Structure 1
Amino acid sequence: MRLSPALAVAASAALLATAACSPSEEGTNEGELTTVTAGVIPIVDVAPIYLGVDQGFFSDRGIDLELESGSGGAAIVPGVISGEFDFAFSNVVSLIVAREQGLPLTALTNGVTSAGEQGADFGGVFVLDDSDVNGAADLEGLTVAANNLNNIGDTTVRQSVRADGGDPTAVDFVELPFPDMPAALETGQIDAVWAVEPFASTIREAGHREIASNFVDTHPDLSVAAYFTGEDRLAQDPELFADITAALEESLAYAEDNPDEVRRILGTYTEIDEQVIEQMVLPRFPAQINDESVQTLADLMVTDGLIDSEPDLDALLP
């Protein structure tokens, strides 16, 4: 979802208007916790922040963190701009698009990083087992589902098509929520899906084939998503956001060092079958964003026409 210039201006004004009455100003008396609301997506990528709440990394810093789910990074961005969320999780492409539309967003930490292995990443492109598609180039003229359009999914799938010698402009992308993808693939509504865990494992368990590891095709150490907030919100309460950032970094480090804990916490905020949880491929959770990989994404976005010119990544990245 691309934001129009008019919407960008309106959303920026909304951010300024809501900064003075953010929910995180509640409960600031000594000994009380400050209520902070974060927008997340119910997928494996955000396991660290749930672990952070579970392990007390936020409450130890005086933060009562409330987590609210959205459908995807592009849908969550307006929630931060409007003041619905104090900070949120979004794919990097959506954040770059938003910045280029004039929305004053800034990243706090990395969110999730590709596992970096072909055929063994936490996301990929899948087709039915009996499909004629054998590689990404074969997606020309076919329909591929992504959870949001003009974001990390279609951008990296296009790169897989390009890397396999195909024409990325000949692929038709449609928007479909992750939970609906397995059934849509089974019934033939679409030809292929770009899915991440746990939906990737569900599709694999059904016997279908992965024909591309789109994150790995883009960059072996791809920073896929980040936690972010609005510049004005950050300027309003820098000490609070220093604590939020520190808690996020501790949460990411804990998740990186404790994969069994990642699998355990998934059962508390998703309805994933326990067997799927045990078998799924986990991403990596470094706290630092790989700037080179973000530059690669930005270059692809210019090539594919998502943005008109080279973005100012220094303004976005921490």
Structure 2
Amino acid sequence: MRRPLARLVISALVLAGMSGLAACGSEQEGDGTAADPLALRLGHFPNLTHATPVIGVEKKFFATALGDTVKLETKQFNAGPEAIEALFAGAIDATYIGPNPAINAYAQSDGQAVRIVAGAASGGVSFIVKPGITKDGLRGKTIATPQLGNTQDVALRYWLKQRGLTTTKEGGGDVSIKPQANSDTVTAFAAGKIDGAWVPEPFASRLIAAGGVKLLDESELWPDGLFVITHLLVSKKFLDKHPTVVKNLVKGSVATNEWINANPDEAQRTLNEALGRITGKPLDAKLTAAAWPSLKFTDDPIPSSLRDGAAHAVDAGLLDQVDLKDIYDLSFLNQVLADKGQPGVKS
């Protein structure tokens, strides 16, 4: 039987290990005290589509919402499957992540391990290629994605299949897909080792700066141009044990998005400075400014696009059919929105 995600080989042993990890944040009883704060370990990626967690940490929106009884610890990942491995291994309690890895985590745990509790961002993904390559000229080309089975990898494979082009998990077929770290993709593209990449910002803009051209903005493929690229996924175990902490985490996320949307210029500067510290290489402000309009920061996780993404993963051969009816728990988000006098979000 096909596994939900080829790259993410999570065995029953690993899943069982989730309940046996001592001295980790989710094992601490209660929600912590000022003298003995609860550790909340949050994952995210160092890119523009994860501006919500990066800025939320930088501007202390999370710290304010969580209070002094919770100590926020962050960990960065290159792509979703890597973050899910960490969550399943008990190394993190929650993560900002794309839709397809969240779907796979839910599927592999029979709906028991994770819940999506809030949205973060839509858009910010493009297909960049060498000059002269057209949509009809992709046969025989080598295209990079961030990781096998991640959101962009699924999107590319599905899009190619819709155009009559084959791919394999091993890199064969009409178009060779080469999953690799986004930073390596920029280097490989500049060196002529790949012909293009389906990647999130800022890497799409970096590829353009390296001589690439935009073949496709993924928003062109979605109704009203909206699709979830980043949402907040929480361990069900952590959620059940610390619901107030999860609500406050969501509160910090909502406050961050509100600030980002009200202060786009300052948000870009804050993000660039923070990513510079995280990665050791600050973003070019011009690249950020060019990429920013392609992103929409929203608390709505856009559930319809997640369900379509699941269907695309099934079609691409990376996922078995799965019932997603319980993947969302938007009760915390809707409580936070109600407190602000804003309408709720449907799952």
Normalised by the length of structure 1, the TM-score is 0.86
What corresponds to 2:92 in structure 1?
A: 85
Kept in 1, the 8 Å contact 2:190–2:210? The answer is: no
Establish whether residue 304 from structure 1 lines up as the match of residue 316 from structure 2.
yes
Shift in Å, 1:279: 2.9
Q: Residues 81-130 of structure 1, C-alpha deviation per residue, up to 9 Å, x if partnerless?
A: 2221121122110111122222611112113211xxxxxxx22111122x
CA distance in 1, matches of 2:137, 2:153: 15
What do residues 230-251 of structure 1 show as CA deviations (whole Å, max 9, x unaligned)?
1111111111111112211222
| Aligned ranges 1:139-178 → 2 under 5 Å | 139-162=138-161, 165-169=163-167, 170-178=174-182
Tell me the distance in 2 between the aligned counterparts of 1:33 and 1:17: 21
Query: What code does the residue aligned with 2:212 have?
Result: H
Q: Which amino acid aligns with 1:104?
A: A
Q: Is the 8 A contact 2:158 2:313 kept in 1?
A: no
- Distance in 1 (CA, whole Å) between partners of 2:53 and 2:113 is 23
Residue 75 of structure 1 corresponds to 82
1:227 corresponds to 2:232? yes
| CA distance in structure 2 between the partners assigned to 1:30 and 1:161 by the alignment | 53
The alignment partner of 1:193 has SS state of strand
Select between 178-187 and 55-64 the one with higher mean Cα deviation: 55-64
- Structure 2, unaligned stretches of length 5 or more? 1-5, 168-173, 277-281, 330-347
Specify the SS of the correspondent of 2:192.
Answer: coil
Within the alignment, does 1:138 sit opposite 2:137 as a pair?
A: yes
CA apart distance, 1:9: 1.5
Q: Does 1:127 align with 2:134?
A: no
Matched, 1:269 2:271: no
Task: Specify the alignment match of 2:105 in structure 1.
Answer: 98
Shift of 1:56: 3.0
* Whole-angstrom distance in 2 between the partners of 1:71 and 1:54: 19
Change (3 A) 1:33 1:16: closer
Is contact 2:202–2:288 with CA below 8 Å preserved after alignment? yes
Aligned equivalents of 1:223, 1:246: Cα separation in 2: 19
TM-score by length of 2: 0.80
The answer to whether the 8 Å contact 1:15/1:230 transfers is: no
Aligned counterparts of 2:221 and 2:160: Cα–Cα separation in 1: 9
Q: What is the CA–CA distance in structure 2 between the aligned matches of 1:140 and 1:111, rounded to whole Å? A: 35
Q: Look up the match of 1:255.
A: 260
Q: Tell me which residue corresponds to 1:36.
A: 40
**1:57 aligned onto 2:40:** no
Q: Does 1:112 align with 2:124?
A: no
Q: How many Å separate the matches in 2 of 1:232 and 1:23? A: 11
Task: Name the aligned partner's letter for residue 80 of structure 2.
Answer: G
Question: How far did 1:44 drift?
Answer: 0.8
Question: Quick check: 1:41–1:69 contact (8 Å CA) kept in 2?
Answer: yes
Counterpart residue number, 2:244: 239
Who is 1:23 aligned against?
25
State the distance in 2 between where 1:166 and 1:111 align: 33
2:120·2:297 contact (CA, 8 Å) conserved in 1?
A: yes
Identity across the alignment (%): 21
Query: How has the CA–CA distance of structure 1 residues 216 and 262 changed in structure 2, closer, same or farther, with 3 Å as cutoff?
Result: farther
- Aligned ranges 1:181-192 → 2 under 5 Å: 181-192=185-196
Distance 2:78 2:210 in 1: 24
CA RMSD of aligned residues (A): 2.3
Report deviation, 1:293.
0.9
